[in-house]
Amino acid sequence: MTNKSKVQKRKIIYLVKPRGFCAGVKRAVEIVEVAIRKYGVPLYVRHQIVHNRRVVADFEKQGVVFVEKINEVPKGAKIIFSAHGSPPSLYKEALQRGLTIIDATCPLVTKVHLEAKRYEKEGYFIVYLGDKDHPEPKGVLGEIKASSAVLIENLEDAKKLTLSDKKKIVILTQTTLSFDDTKEIVIYLQKQFPHLTLPPAFDICYATQNRQEAVKALAKMVDVILVVGSRESSNSKRLKDLGIACGRPTYLVDDSSQIKENWFENADKVGVTAGASTPDRLISEIVQYIRKSGVAVEELEIIHEQISFALPIKI
């Protein structure tokens, strides 16, 4: 059977909104673009500016160099810190090396950094919910003493906690985790430690929550869901997991080359969404690939987003 005959079985693609770039990612990408125009290349970025391979590859083609270690950057150069946040030790190391720092940390992540420092100063023990392999927790926990916090990844970790000697306990969370992601752990901790302080409501990234709510709504309308995003992206992977949990075959793809024909053999309605670090052009490429046999495309707005973040005063 040809690719065309298989695709013809699909009747409509629902392109859900919100999808793709969130305000923090837009800001970080724009910071790099402005810095390229202002200073030229090579320009150095510590870690992937956002977790999307296409975005990183496009910047690399322009002469941007991505590094993990500060000592990889020539002395006196300019370095951009990624949207995910970085521990104070890296800022100190960069300054000692004579580097000019341009900070692209998402303002929502910065807010959690400040909360961690404030709660520690007020004598709280911090239970931080997050992924140990993600850069965001490393940045937040780097703000405080190791004895002031514990990182919890799942319910099993929570059940191992012994905090009977801690009078003041607060929960903070990685911004890319939604209420659903943390609900089970938070409920358990509330029962074990009734006096704990719950995480501030606005610590959860609006984009994470909105995109997950959109997938829940989308799952009720379609046969198959495509999530456009990188496997390095925490929120993209979670969108895939959520689609599956909602009872729909859900696939995470970086680009159209990863799409398999048999995913759509029995699908009349296909839903397309994207992680918060996925550029519009990549989403468009995938939609064009799917619709090449004339399948209709319909925009489906679940939640309206109007949030934006200003660029730093100094770039």
Average model confidence (pLDDT) for the chain? 92
Examine residue 85 and state whether it is found in any structural domain, yes or no: yes
> Distance between CA atoms of 276 and 28, rounded to whole angstroms?
12
- 136 catalytic? Reply is yes
Q: Are 13 and 297 in contact (CB under 8 A)?
A: yes
* Residue-level pLDDT at 87: 98
Structural domain ending residue among the three candidates 139, 173, 203: 203
Determine, yes or no, domain membership for 151: yes
Structural domain count of the chain? 3
Choose the final residue of a domain: 148, 180, 203.
Answer: 203
307 inside domain: no
Identity at 84, one-letter amino acid code: H
Q: What is the CATH number of the domain that holds 7?
A: 3.40.1010.20
Considering the entire predicted model, what is its pTM? 0.89
Active-site pick, 120, 136, 143, 232: 136
Q: For 16, list phi and psi in degrees, rounded to 5.
A: -80, 145
For residue 10, pLDDT beyond 60:
no
**For the chain, how many helices (H) and strands (E)?**
11, 12
Residue 308 falls inside a structural domain: no
Q: Is-contact 124 115, C-beta < 8 A?
A: no
Domain contains 306:
no
Instruction: Tell me which residue range forms the domain holding 145.
Output: 108-203
Distances (CA, A) of 301 to 15, 132, 210, 222: 8, 34, 11, 15
Q: What angle do CA 89, 171, 141 make, to 5 degrees?
A: 10
CATH code of 82's domain: 3.40.50.11270
pLDDT tens, 98-155?
A: 999 999 999 999 999 999 999 999 999 999 999 999 999 999 999 999 999 999 999 9
Per-residue pLDDT reduced to its tens digit, 250-290: 999 999 999 998 898 888 999 999 999 999 999 999 998 88
- Is there a single domain that holds both residue 240 and residue 289? yes
Last residue of a domain, one of 157, 183, 203: 203
235 phi, psi to nearest 5 deg: -75, -30
